[in-house]
Chain A
Amino acid sequence: MSQKIVIDPVTRVEGHGKVTVHLDENNKVTDAKFHIVEFRGFERFIQGHPYWEAPVMVQRLCGICPVSHHLAAAKAIDQIVGVDPEDLSLPAQKIRKLLHFGQVFQSHALHFFYLASPDLLFGAESDPLKRNVVGVAMEYPELAKKGILMRKFGQEIIKMVAGKRIHGISTTPGGVHRRISAKERSYFLDDKDIPSIDTMIKWSVEIIDFIKTYHITNKIFLNSFAKYPSGHLGLVNKKNGFLELYDGVLRATDAKGNITLDDVPNDDYNKYFYESVEKWTYLKFPYLKHLGKEKGWNRVGPLARINICNGIETPLAEQERLDFKAFSNGEINNMTMHTHWARLIEVLYCAEMMKNLLEDDDILSNDLIRKGERRKEGIGIIEAPRGTLIHHYEVDNKDRITRCNLIVSTTHNNEPMNQAVRWVANNVLDGNAKITEGMMNQVEVAIRAYDPCLSCATHAMGQMPLELQLFDHYGNIIDKKIKN
């Protein structure tokens, strides 16, 4: 008799998702899917609002990376008031970047230390009562302390620039609304009230050393678990193709490194992307038009970004990128679990960039806002912690938003996460009628590598756990795991 496994909810991710696995009469996997079962509809209810409200409203999509939505919307709204990214004042660009690096730094720290590290430190099949951040704090208190203080550092940067840690406001159309004071920045440099930015850089290097050692001792698991070929998409610097998180051009490669999207300007994204819809999930499936739905999907996020860029402008992170590339002999890296390593390289990059910006007197300047000629359309693309984030708005003559299209990072990673779930189904669950907690967690480990934000992706609200269901051949649920 065929069966179906259901994991509901998936834990230690942001959002409520469900995994279903179908088995045939011999308990062989016939299908596996990752479902997002929430719907919120931000794209619709922002219509009719004045355009200047967008950067404030859309950040309510998320409590983890509201800054990314705030900045992507701000970049789009800049264009509505006739200001392109390169036309912003230099101080405004630098203050926005400082905010963005603080955001990515704290979000990556949260993901690695709080959500992913329990699986790495204790093992995917270890006691679930221990396999959480409390367990990490008990057995690795120094690591936990660093994780907490690194996240706090990023949040304090956000608070300085945007007024508060969550849902603060920094941007105004064409710039930012306030400068940084000398006293405010010294808080991050003098090593008195909180560990300084130099300490953040030192700790970032130490945690990369940890993950590199971990890769040596767990090579087989990390190189094989949920590995599959895919495209890789992200922004790169428009001048030199280096890693770029705030403003760049779109680049994609296939699984072997062949260019499939060649440094395309943000305004042209619509010429290259389609989004398909499936009945079984609220999450859409973006893909490159010219490659089609089957071949045109891409991973986004740290692994993709490190794969596609030509280099990193900060010296310590660049050295780590070279070590990372050497591990795969310079080839494109399709090993899902290497995403954590790539994420930590970005942590170091953000720390180095924050130091550069904090020591730059431009952030103290009052030259903050530019104006231009009013336009009807604006597109803002940014690299959020989890990957490429697209905000697109159209506005009427009365300044009301008439159309909004959001493609968030987790949406790009929809097919990649489904691929990862299928890998675990085929390699771990296949042949088992009964799923153990350890097996179930391996499904979640694969999903967690992407650090998905399911609430952003479907614009959901409310409690957000995840479930796993096991279905038989007749469609009956024969096993179910739910975490709350």
Chain B
Amino acid sequence: MAQAALENEARELDGTGWLARLGFEERTWRGLGLLAPAILVAVLFSLIPLIYLVQISLTEKSSFFFNASYTLANYREVFDRYQSTIRETVFLATVSSLLDLVFGYPFAYILIRKVRYREFARTMMTFPLFGTLYLAFGLFYILLPNGPFGSILARWDISLAPYLFSLPATLFGMMVFTFPFMVMNVGAALSNVDPTLEEAAKTLGAKPWQTFVRVLFPLSWSGVLAGFLMCFGWNLGVFVVPLLLGRPQEQNVISVVMYDKGLVQFNYGLAGALGVVLMALAFGVSWLSLRLSRGALGA
């Protein structure tokens, strides 16, 4: 038994197995064999569908499924009639991610430097991660005139109802959903910053804001950037938050329009073109964040 294992080892070491003759050494082939199911799934259900999406975006309406007639009209329509949709999507994603940064940075700082109940905070932070659907549902109820705080706020003549179906409600919903991603990234960067550096700055006479601008922020810059791009990437694909909390005419995002055009009106060509635009935006952001972070796994 041990003998066999050793022989096996020896054969692997000098790479004289039959697989080695195909170019790679034998261990490489075995590794690729172990990876085969993963690669197969990614090719069949991720790569091939996305290629179809690009192809269908170049065909007219639903002609792809019958006899495809190729055209660039879908893209022309996207950039003429749906330019405002693209702009609105990017605008919402940018502003909500900036809000995440403004409110999430202090949160992460306090969490890393001052808080002992960090585990509890992490547990509570999983609530938004259960998804935008429940989040939007709950916020919708809170904003209703007869919502849970309705009677209390009415005493001070405050009503949340005007904020239902509005830009602030949409931004707030998107921001709460991605808040944990910002905290996670900034927190990871801040926990690598030695607290003695802040003390040194203080000893040398820096005011708190000077310490922040010249020491803390530059040292946590990588986390800020990674957090912003991650929030932005998630918020680009936003669907249910503007649908429930926004005004349909104004907070009109790519995902929603794509669903309407594709699965309600069966204009697959146009839906495909909108999908390709959204995909290009999302992949661009992911590429940027991978470039800047040099791969989170360092593989």
Q: Are A and B subunits of one complex?
A: no
Q: Which residues of B contact A (CB under 8 A)?
A: none
